[in-house]
Chains A and B, each alone.
Chain A
């Protein structure tokens, strides 16, 4: 059973507009959440994270929102740029001394010029 779900396998957005990537989780004990970006033939690159005690974190063009009651988080990219085209993974940390991450299957974002 998937604990972290990204229900949209792909998303296409026009350059300059907002990209919204969504992620749902099932375990209310998750400690914090992360978003990674992955280009083909490269490893995932850390983008932004959010602690379970917060509901928003912002870093430049990237903002992550956390809705604990809905067990939902989203990544907003504003404005979207063609270089943002990649696969985006949502990940959750279960907390405690174990730091392993639980990943969603990813959403492929295409930003069209």
Chain B
């Protein structure tokens, strides 16, 4: 158990809908990262937050947004969903810029 929790574990929704994925980092970790893993792909970095502020952006679509709250949990919002958004979404946390510890992931299926 990495100490990073993600909910929900599975999410099935329809095209055009909006969903919210939630992540709680390990106790003491200030950085939260979001990654997307599509079929047969490595993990693609989406966005990083550090202590409530956006720190870095990767290949994140404009339809996607994220935030980190004062209690350091983070939410990833995905809107106007398309079939191609079906993937595993992982959250990771670290103390600062260091080894990242991953949550179990949320499997999103868009029908």
Query: Which positions in A face B, CB cutoff 8 Å?
Result: 4, 34, 36, 41-46, 49, 89, 91, 93, 96-106
A-B pairs under 8 A by CB, number: 66
Residues of chain B contacted by A104 (CB below 8 angstroms): 42
Interface size on B, residues (CB 8 A): 29
The reply to whether B55 and A43 form a contact with Cβ atoms under 8 Å apart is no
Interface flags, B1-13, vs A, CB<8A=1, else 0: 0101010000000
Residue from B55, B92, B101 in contact with A98 in the complex, judged by beta carbons closer than 8 Å: B55
Asked if B68 is at the interface of the complex by the 8 Å CB criterion, the answer is no
Query: Which positions in B face A, CB cutoff 8 Å?
Result: 2, 4, 6, 31, 33, 35, 40-45, 48, 55-56, 58, 90, 92, 94, 96-105
Given the known inter-chain contacts A45-B2, A89-B43, please indicate yes or no for A99 contacting B98, CB distance below 8 A: yes
The reply to whether B101 and A46 form a contact with Cβ atoms under 8 Å apart is yes
The reply to whether B48 and A100 form a contact with Cβ atoms under 8 Å apart is yes
